[in-house]
Structure 1
Amino acid sequence: MQRFGTLSFGHYGPLGGGRELTARDSLHQAIDLAQGMDDLGVNGVYFRVHHFARQQSSPMTLLAAIAARTERIEMGTGVIDMRYENPLYLAEEAASVDLLSDGRLALGVSRGSPETVIRGYEAFGYTGSQDPRGADIAREHFATFLEAIEGAGLAERDSTSPFGAGARGMQRIEPHSPGLRSRIWWGAGNRDSAEWAGRIGVNLMSSTLLTEDRGIPFDELQAQQIDAFRAAWKDAGHPGEPRTSVSRSIFPITTAQDAMYFGRADSEGVGYIDGMRSTFGKTYAAEPDALVEQLLDDAAIRSADTLMLTIPSQLGVEYNLHIVESFAAHVAPALGWQSTRA
């Protein structure tokens, strides 16, 4: 494990007892948490993107704010639902944030997770899908997005325009950030999707659940997915080594409060998502020494270079920083990690 960071769902709403976490609270706390993690030397802070839900939905303004308040930490998404995106507008926004952050943006994109509404992307104007889950729209939008951030010409220049100085040919979108293409991840929920990501040459963000069940534990199934991705990358002739990430709910128990919240958390299972039989990842919660042993035995964590901790953002900045600091101090070094402040 070379890097670790947090993956936040950004939930807000009633907390019980008359308390409520507002959308404003959630955004400000996300910035404060990112700043605290940057001070700790953690590698990344990533956000789930969900529409029609009380979660983060349009992440670019949040990521820009984090860029302005931090110095080293990578920031990104896991994942942006490409069914909802205008790919050229997303490319402009992503390039702008990447330039503002001096190349610290890492965007995870995909078809997206199950929704709270029926075909919500159609309400955004993206209709005509032939797939019940809109996967064809997501792939089409993603292909255009990649062309845009690669700097391809996408619109013909108007040589008669007073702003074009008589130029001819095709114009790329602006601004353009040259290194952004190497920091795009595809969120894959099965082996076929992972192999496709390897063939087209983007990084792999392996999902917190896999839409397949092969009768083996989740970590082994995920490790096989990562192996298939790397083999497809190599067979396609792409240079260098791609990045791979997995996410887990991991809670070092170092205080009575930790034990109260997570002392009974230890689960893995099989169920149905979007009508498909799916395998869900395990939640780890134990004292640090036991946690190290368990995580070293997780085949996917051993295989991936980046680990994302799914954090309970509703519990506030102070407690989430406690989780991250406990992991950084007592667990992560035994998995091979070194702080960015080292």
Structure 2
Amino acid sequence: MGDRPLKKLGFLTIGLFDEDDPARGHESTLRTLERGEELGYDSAWVRHRHLQYGIASPVAVLAAATQRTRRIALGTAVTPLGWENPLRLAEDLATVDILSGGRLNPGVSTGAPTHYERVREALYPDTADTEDFGYTRVRRLLDHLAGEPVTGFRGTEGIESFSDRVQPRSPGLRERMWYGGGSLRSARWAGENAMNLLTSSVVKAEEQEGPWDFAALQRAQIRAFRAAHPAGEAARVSQGLVVIPTDSADAAQRARYAEYAAARLPRTVRPQGPARLLFAPDLVGPSDWIAERLRAHAAFREVDEVAFALPFTFGEEDYEQILTDIAGRLGPALGWKPGG
């Protein structure tokens, strides 16, 4: 694809809160989503966190956000399906999409729940050894959203009417389903199943030995996805690197941002753990400098959509500064125009 102007600008937030005052954190997240719309962003995404002090139910939070925004697309990046019943999730997603007027962009992933050995008896007390956490679970969700029958009965019993497929139906939602992938296998599967692809700042270093090149690995995954997708080069891919422009930051913010990136830099040098996960360096600096680095990034050159990830541990005032600089300086430097 290469060197196309940035078409869609988005951001991702984790939505942290204090255990003793969770309402304040959730309200802060909703204000951040509202502010994103005011700044002209095309999309806002919420990350899923279970048994942590981050948003456990993005679908519920986004339901609230549908009533406080009017234009911006709202997404999950990503919902781990190992925690979900696909039929029930399909009902929730369709309901929120209806409430949003067709703005929901659900992102999902596969795999066993994090720390499954700790939660399996609480989550699946009767079926922990037989649950399928692979691609079949995603296919079930996609089929439910596409309106495939889930029972053999449709009709009336007594005074109640019953459907044989998930209700409500929200046409177009199936086409707005995203898969969060970081490997060649997952990228190809997402393409073969006509999903959109969410990439992030993490990939699997599966076909490369050092020196490791994050951008080249991610580019290979994007190309594998499009080669497998019915839409080919038109298949949608969104990149989710961590970028922190400092144009309007004060001295204290700049120091904090630099310290944050420096602490995370060692994990970008070589693959981490048995899964061989390789992380991208955070980009911290003036917007013009970040734009130059992105234009030279082999994977960024393949996309025209982004959902830049906000650092997890910063405050609302930091998010205001970062989002304002991205929308006002970095986005335009990359060719983005609000409403483009």
After TM superposition, give the deviation of residue 118 of structure 1 in Å. Answer: 2.8
Q: Quick one: which amino acid aligns to residue 218 of structure 2?
A: Q
Q: Which residue matches 1:17?
A: none
Tell me the matched-pair count: 324
- Counterpart residue number, 1:153: 149
Q: CA RMSD in A?
A: 2.4
Structure 1, unpaired ranges of 5+ = 14-19
Alpha-carbon distance in 2 for matches of 1:253, 1:158: 58
Greater strand proportion = 1
Cα gap change, 1:121/1:220 in structure 2, threshold over 3 Å: closer, same or farther?
farther
CA contact (8 A) 1:251 1:286 kept: yes
Give me the identity figure in percent.
31
Q: Larger deviation: 305-314 or 329-338?
A: 305-314
Which residue is equivalent to 2:122? Answer: 123
Q: Which of 1, 4, 7 in structure 2 is aligned with 1:2?
A: 7
Shift of 1:336: 2.1
Distance 1:53 1:35, change over 3 A: same
User: Could you state the TM-score of these two structures normalised by the residue count of structure 1?
Assistant: 0.87
In the TM superposition, what whole-angstrom CA distance separates every residue of 1:290-334 from its partner, at most 9, and x where no partner exists? 122111111112212221221135433332021011011111112
Instruction: Give the aligned partner of residue 300 of structure 1.
Output: 299
Match of 2:201 in 1: 208
Conserved? CA contact 1:5–1:44, under 8 Å: yes
CA distance in 2, matches of 1:245, 1:121: 32
What is the TM-score of this pair, normalised by structure 2?
0.87
Distance of 1:281 and 1:83 partners within structure 2: 26
Structure-1 separation of matches of 2:238 and 2:313: 24
2:84 matches 1:93: no
Contact map agreement 1:8 1:46 (CA 8 A) in 2: yes
- The amino acid that maps onto 2:64 is A
Runs of 5+ unmatched residues, structure 2: 1-5
Match of 1:104 in 2: 103
Instruction: Please show how residues 232-243 of structure 1 align to structure 2 within 5 Å.
Output: 232-233=228-229, 237-238=230-231, 241-243=234-236
Matches within 5 A, 1:1-342: 1-13=6-18, 22-111=21-110, 115-116=114-115, 118=117, 120=119, 123-125=122-124, 127-129=127-129, 136-157=132-153, 161-163=157-159, 171-213=164-206, 214-215=208-209, 216-233=212-229, 237-238=230-231, 241-254=234-247, 255=249, 256-263=251-258, 265=261, 267=265, 268-273=268-273, 275-312=274-311, 314-340=313-339
Provide the rounded CA distance (Å) in 1 between the counterparts of 2:233 and 2:241.
26
Alignment partner, residue 3 of structure 2: none
